[in-house]
């Protein structure tokens, strides 16, 4: 029970009163810990064991992804124009978020990802391949591709090897020494800011048009690969992204951690006791906002991105040549710059920036996705879609109607 002398001492010297309260709380916490030490040790061991079991199950699930993975080649239908290609991609990436497993299953297996790759080689057309992990049924992707682009052919490619995760073609190329240059591409601003999604009729802003131009400039022995890894965004990261957008829309201040909030309130209360004045923090939060037209337009685009399905995306690329010497290094560096420039057309509220990627060819062949940038289905459709069907591409490799069953994979 507090005596009048203790109350008067706490008023005249508030700092010592707070120190005494903290010291008392610390002593009580130490006493409780000593009394329940055995229980705390048992709980710690159980927590570590559960974490180890979950992590082991996740690693086993990832090994099954790559052991049972398949690679298919996608041939676009004849007569497809850029507008139809992008419109079909929007339908595709709006449809595929259903691949995410239920919440209880994600705890043990995580979320599998897809890989869409553009392969460029001298004297060949732009080739589109899709890597499918083990849990994703090929029939599901086949149906989604045919629904997005009627008349699309989905053909089996060389199967991947379980150990290396590389195709037979890549394994053969690994025996030859190559000069390789590549990198990774990530948004340079916060992920809630959208990229510029061009109109479907705007053919000049199509990244694949630039890739086809690079394909026509490749010499003998030169090749390039652009890889887009994508998986549905779910769970904690998606909820945090939506909270950020809601906070920007309502004008609320950024949410701080519990520890930072406690320290801020404690310091404010101490300053009020010492100075005898009231804090103005509570009244400043209710000050009405005044938004300029540019900021209003930016908020509208941010909300439009939030209303679409979200994907975690990683974009990587590399260029390689069998030639050697300083000229070969400069040549592949120029090709790599052209590959990145194809996606720089999407700069808007946000922009794509390239970063250094050690051993780019090995990283691309591994097809591993740990953490990617958060993009909407519309932004991903602008990056990953089928190329327009030019006269060179329509040289008998695809048909304008669905192919017979014996020419495609068996579902």
d(CA 274, CA 35): 39
Distances (CA, A) of 139 to 24, 136, 155: 66, 9, 12
Q: How far separated are the first and last CA of the chain, in Å rounded? A: 79
Measured in residues, the chain has a length of 411
According to CATH, the topology of domain 69-238+300-407 is Vanillyl-alcohol Oxidase; Chain A, domain 3 (3.40.462)
Q: What is the pLDDT of residue 105?
A: 78
Quote the pLDDT of residue 393: 43
Cβ atoms within 10 Å of 322's Cβ, excluding its own: 14
> What is the spatial distance between Cα 154 and Cα 177, in angstroms, rounded to a whole number?
32
User: What pLDDT is stored for residue 46 in this prediction?
Assistant: 92
Indicate the domain borders of the chain: 69-238+300-407
Q: Are 360 and 180 in contact (CB under 8 A)?
A: yes
Rg, the chain, Cα only: 28
Instruction: List all residues 6 or more positions away from 81 whose beta carbon is below 8 Å from its beta carbon.
Output: 388, 389
Give the span between the Cα atoms of 152 and 70, in whole angstroms: 18
Instruction: Quote the pLDDT of residue 293.
Output: 65
- Write down the pLDDT at residue 12: 55
Spatial distance between the Cα atoms of 257 and 238, rounded to a whole number of angstroms: 18
Do the Cβ atoms of 332 and 217 come closer than 8 Å?
no
3-state secondary structure of 46: helix
Mean pLDDT of successive 10-residue stretches along the chain, which has 411 residues: 52 66 85 86 90 85 82 87 87 88 78 90 88 85 89 75 45 65 90 83 76 86 92 88 84 64 75 65 50 75 89 92 85 89 85 89 90 90 83 47 47 37
Find where tokens 């406690």 sit. 262
pLDDT of residue 56: 87
Angle, CA 309 vertex, CA 142 and CA 209 arms, to 5°: 65
The region that residue 406 occupies, defined by phi over 0 for left and psi between -120 and 50 for alpha, beta otherwise, is alpha
């Amino acid at each position: 029970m507090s005596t009048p002398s203790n109350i008067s001492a706490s008023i005249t010297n508030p700092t010592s009163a707070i120190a005494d309260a903290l010291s008392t709380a610390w002593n009580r916490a130490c006493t409780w810990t000593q009394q329940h030490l055995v229980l705390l040790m048992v709980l710690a061991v159980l927590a570590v064991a559960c974490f180890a079991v979950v992590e082991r199950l996740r690693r086993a699930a990832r090994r099954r992804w790559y052991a049972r993975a398949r690679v298919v080649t996608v041939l676009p239908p004849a007569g497809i124009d850029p507008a139809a290609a992008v419109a079909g991609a929007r339908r595709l990436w709006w449809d595929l978020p259903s691949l995410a497993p239920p919440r209880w299953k994600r705890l043990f297996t995580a979320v599998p990802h897809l890989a869409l790759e553009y392969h460029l080689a001298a004297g060949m057309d732009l080739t589109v391949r899709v890597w499918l992990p083990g849990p994703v049924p090929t029939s599901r992707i086949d149906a989604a591709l045919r629904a997005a682009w009627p008349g699309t052919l989905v053909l089996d490619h060389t199967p991947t090897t379980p150990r290396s995760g590389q195709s037979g073609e890549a394994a053969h190329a690994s025996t030859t020494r190559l000069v390789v240059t590549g990198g990774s591409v990530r948004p340079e601003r916060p992920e809630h800011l959208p990229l510029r999604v061009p109109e479907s009729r705007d053919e000049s802003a199509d990244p694949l048009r630039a890739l086809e131009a690079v394909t026509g400039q490749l010499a003998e022995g030169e090749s390039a690969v652009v890889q887009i890894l994508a998986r549905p965004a779910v769970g904690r990261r998606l909820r945090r992204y939506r909270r950020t957008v809601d906070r920007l829309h309502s004008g609320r201040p950024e949410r701080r951690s519990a520890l930072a909030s406690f320290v801020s309130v404690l310091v404010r209360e101490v300053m009020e006791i010492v100075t005898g004045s009231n804090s103005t923090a509570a009244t400043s939060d209710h000050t009405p906002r005044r938004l300029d037209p540019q900021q209003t337009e930016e908020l509208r685009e941010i909300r439009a991105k939030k209303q679409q399905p979200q994907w975690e995306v990683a974009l990587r690329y590399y260029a390689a040549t069998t030639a050697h010497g300083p000229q070969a290094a400069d040549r592949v560096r120029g090709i790599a710059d052209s590959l990145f420039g194809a996606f720089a057309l999407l700069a808007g509220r946000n922009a794509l920036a390239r970063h250094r990627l050690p051993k780019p060819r090995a990283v691309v062949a591994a097809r591993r996705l740990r953490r990617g940038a958060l993009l909407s289905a519309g932004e991903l459709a602008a990056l990953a879609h089928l190329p327009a069907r030019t006269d060179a591409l329509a040289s008998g490799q695809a048909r304008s109607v669905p192919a017979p069953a014996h020419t495609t994979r068996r579902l």
